[in-house]
Amino acid sequence: MDFVDEVHLEVIAGDGGKGCVAFRREKFLPLGGPSGGDGGTGGNIIFEAQTRLTTLFDLGYRKILKAKRGEHGRGRDQFGAKGGDLVVPVPIGTQIYDAESGEFIADLTEPEERLVIAKGGAGGRGNMRFATPTDRAPRKFEPGGAGERRSLRLELKLLADVGVVGFPNVGKSTFIAAVSRAKPKIASYPFTTLTPNLGVVSLGNERSFVIADIPGIIEGAAEGAGLGLRFLKHVERTRLLLHIITFDDDPGRDPISDFDKLMDELRRFDEKLASRPMVVALGKCDLPDVTELYEEVASALAERGHPLLRLSGASREGCDDVVRTLETALRDNPADGFTLPQPGPSAADRPHGNQQGFAHEQAGED
């Protein structure tokens, strides 16, 4: 399944049914009077946040969502039935914007949370509603009201306890595969991962947390380079960051410069991200060249206020220590003390360069 985190939709609530003009004509009731019933109310369109969904893929090809109209009123005092509501499941973390004005409408962050996004039209009154002592045989009725129609943009920002960040090919996907049941694509070339991967890390005794691999962050990401803005927005939803660094074949790169550059990208995207609680680990520690320089890198990071752990997703070396450290940090930063950031400009509205999210060189994946 493709990872889809932004869709545009047209939602149309159901129209109300029209009222009926009718009169009783039963035997022995020569003056039976008006009996036209009211039309039914049109169906609403309702968004419901569901935990089983992690992407907006199901809505990616549904450009128009339309609820049923209310039934028309009938004779013999029969009211039309209400049009059925259209309940649209969306992932937790879905933000809803008015596509025309850009106005923020809602943020669905709780399981089973519901939002009536478009109300159905009211049913029209039948002629029995217009009977008066001076007009006992009215022929008046009302047409049904039109249902609300809105153009919307839905944007998904993943909700996870831990967001794994780092330059391409540092071992983020390998680590997530080692500590959870997630099965991300893993290969020895940059940009192997083109979509976020979610995994649940279980520690026993009903203790667990959700971890997300945030791909595509490179130098210039805050301006839209690489996968840029497309996935930086998902970092905003995490309570804790795991920053993985390692050595790279590129002679112009090293773990410390990578750390500083990525921190600068986070700061430029959102100042608060740079101060988010963070655990830093040196990846690929099963390689001798990486292990030999651990002390040097740890010393440099200590000057920046971050202790350095070591891990290898391939050999699982240090993974348990990193998981325990993450759990401890999450306990120190409980969910009820973490406030989701207030919606600001969406990725599509941020004044940066590459709004497409993909650079030409990204034919591969992290």
Name the average pLDDT for the chain. 80
346: left (phi over 0), alpha (psi -120 to 50) or beta: beta
E-assigned strand segments in the chain: 6-12, 45-50, 64-66, 86-91, 94-98, 104-108, 114-118, 149-156, 162-165, 197-204, 207-213, 240-245, 278-282, 308-310
Q: Which residue has the higher pLDDT, 275 or 143?
A: 143
Give 123-136 pLDDT, tens digit per residue: 999 999 999 988 88
* Least confident stretch, 3-7, 189-193, 308-312: 189-193
Q: Which residue has the higher pLDDT, 28 or 299?
A: 299
Q: Which residue has the higher pLDDT, 159 or 127?
A: 127
The answer on pLDDT for 330 being more than 60 is yes
Predicted local confidence at residue 51, as pLDDT: 82
The answer on pLDDT for 93 being more than 50 is yes
Q: Which residue has the higher pLDDT, 265 or 338?
A: 265
Predicted local confidence at residue 228, as pLDDT: 47
- 346 secondary structure, DSSP code: -
**Percentage of residues in the chain with pLDDT exceeding 90?**
30
Angstrom distance (rounded) from CA 179 to CA 315: 12
Give 46-79 pLDDT, tens digit per residue: 999 998 887 888 888 888 999 999 999 999 889 9
Q: Which residue has the higher pLDDT, 162 or 198?
A: 162
Question: H-type helices in the chain, by residue range?
Answer: 172-179, 229-235, 255-269, 288-292, 294-302, 319-332
Inter-residue contact 217 to 147 (CB < 8 Å): no
Give 220-255 pLDDT, tens digit per residue: 444 444 444 455 666 777 888 899 988 866 656 688
Predicted local confidence at residue 167, as pLDDT: 83
User: Which numeric CATH code is attached to 162-337?
Assistant: 3.40.50.300
The answer on pLDDT for 158 being more than 60 is yes
Q: Where are the domains of the chain?
A: 1-156, 162-337
Model confidence at 337, in pLDDT bands (50, 70, 90)? low
* Least confident stretch, 77-91, 132-146, 278-292: 278-292
Asked: is 1-156 a CATH 1.10.3470.10 domain? The reply is no
Beta bridge partners of 209: 201
Model confidence at 169, in pLDDT bands (50, 70, 90)? confident
Predicted local confidence at residue 182, as pLDDT: 61
Angstrom distance (rounded) from CA 122 to CA 124: 6
Domains 1-156 and 162-337 share a fold: no
Model confidence at 353, in pLDDT bands (50, 70, 90)? very low
